[in-house]
């Protein structure tokens, strides 16, 4: 039985490779070995592969190609964006109060850096929270994939 499968495999490889040899297409030997290794009877089945039925009229496409996987919500990135948003908001408010003189300071030249740092921290937090909000509501053009994920 193993010899029959080996003969079928050789015939199949010849049918695939013969036109390529005639056209003088460079062929990688590793690719041929992988194909022959994966088609043997002793190969262990891969349980992670999901199969689906092929359509009766094969136009080169299957429905499974066009199915979208549900989006993975990047919770860590959203928590970080929330933290940046809140800290930036607090620094902007404190910097504004310092600059306006509602909070007495000994060195008034140190009030502007607090405001600038608050703005620099606030902007990325607001940007990513806005994307996360619109993606959760399903607005067109917004997706969780636009938010960088820190799970890698």
How many separate domains does the chain show?
Answer: 2
Residues 129 and 87 in one domain: yes
Please check whether residue 21 lies inside any domain of the structure.
yes
Please check whether residue 111 lies inside any domain of the structure.
yes
Whole-number Å distance between alpha carbons of 98 and 101: 5
Question: Torsions phi, psi of 58, nearest 5?
Answer: -90, 110
Read off the pLDDT band of 29 (50, 70, 90): very low
Residues 34 and 82 in one domain: no
Residues 138 and 90 in one domain: yes
Please check whether residue 27 lies inside any domain of the structure.
yes
Please check whether residue 47 lies inside any domain of the structure.
no
Least confident of 29-33, 55-59, 73-77: 29-33
Range of the domain at 20: 1-42
Statement: residue 65 has pLDDT above 50? yes
Please check whether residue 52 lies inside any domain of the structure.
no
Residues 134 and 86 in one domain: yes
Statement: residue 50 has pLDDT above 80? no
Read off the pLDDT band of 100 (50, 70, 90): confident
CA torsion sign, 97 to 100 to 101 to 106? Answer: positive
Please check whether residue 50 lies inside any domain of the structure.
no
């Amino acid at each position: 039985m193993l010899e029959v499968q080996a003969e079928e495999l050789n015939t199949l490889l010849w049918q695939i490779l013969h036109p390529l040899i005639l056209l003088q297409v460079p062929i990688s030997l590793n690719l041929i070995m992988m194909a022959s290794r994966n088609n043997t009877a002793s190969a262990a089945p891969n349980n992670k592969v999901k199969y689906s039925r092929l359509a009766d009229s094969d136009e080169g496409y299957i429905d499974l190609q066009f199915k979208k996987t549900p989006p993975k919500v990047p919770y860590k990135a959203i928590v970080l964006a929330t933290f940046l948003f809140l800290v930036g908001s607090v620094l902007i408010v404190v910097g504004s109060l310092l600059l306006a003189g509602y909070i007495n300071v000994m060195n008034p030249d140190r009030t502007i850096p607090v405001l600038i740092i608050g703005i620099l921290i606030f902007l990325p937090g607001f940007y990513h929270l806005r994307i996360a909000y619109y993606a959760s509501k399903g607005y067109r053009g917004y997706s969780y994939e636009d938010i960088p994920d820190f799970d890698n």
